[in-house]
Amino acid sequence: MYDNRKIRVSKYSVIGEIAMELRRLQQSVDAFDEAAAARLGLNRTDLRCLDVVLAEGPVSAGRISAALKLSPAATTTVIDRLERAGMVGRSADPGNRRRVLVAATDAARSAEAEIFVPVGQAGVQALQEYGPDELAVILGFLRTAREVQEEQAARVRAMP
């Protein structure tokens, strides 16, 4: 027969360890982003914008504003900096002549291949150790963790 008190203590100590590992993961992601931004001569906001353009591009400035939660003026400034750095270019939207699209340049695609693709490859390699059921649990956990972070970010933004 199981002692429920031991199960709870054990469960909560593992939850504490998970919380600490999440904190360390966030710190490692921040350190990687800082290193990538420094390597590219960008600031972190510019790097986040470049990520959106690489992932979704070509995209409108409005989409970038929404993704980064920046004002239109701040978004224009970020795009200007990325354009000067040779990472993005602007072009007219063929479907709407009043709208401009922002697209990654060859230099940005090269940076993506040099800096970001290896991270994805290493992640895929690490996940090969897990079976389908374990991967489903990992995926569920990551979705839950992201939702918690998004909810908490909204909570903090709403604070007076």
- Give residue 101's domain range: 4-129
CATH number of the domain enclosing 108: 1.10.10.10
- Cα-Cα-Cα-Cα dihedral sign, residues 55, 56, 61, 67: negative
Whether 141 maps to a domain, the answer reads: no
- Cα-Cα-Cα-Cα dihedral sign, residues 63, 64, 66, 70: negative
Whether 68 maps to a domain, the answer reads: yes
Collapsed DSSP state (helix, strand, coil) of residue 66? helix
pTM of the model: 0.81
Whether 50 maps to a domain, the answer reads: yes
Distance CA 95, CA 45 (A): 28
Distance CA 54, CA 110 (A): 11
Whether 140 maps to a domain, the answer reads: no
Would you say residue 133 has pLDDT above 60? yes
Over residues 21-50, the pLDDT tens digits come to 999 999 999 999 999 999 999 999 999 999
Over residues 70-128, the pLDDT tens digits come to 999 999 999 999 999 999 999 988 888 888 899 999 999 999 999 999 999 999 999 99
Q: Give yes or no for a contact between 54 and 70, defined as CB atoms under 8 angstroms apart.
A: no
Pseudo-torsion of CA 71, 77, 83, 87, nearest 10°?
A: -60
Number of structural domains found in the chain? 1
Whether 158 maps to a domain, the answer reads: no
Whether 146 maps to a domain, the answer reads: no
Would you say residue 1 has pLDDT above 50? no
Whether 149 maps to a domain, the answer reads: no
Whether 75 maps to a domain, the answer reads: yes
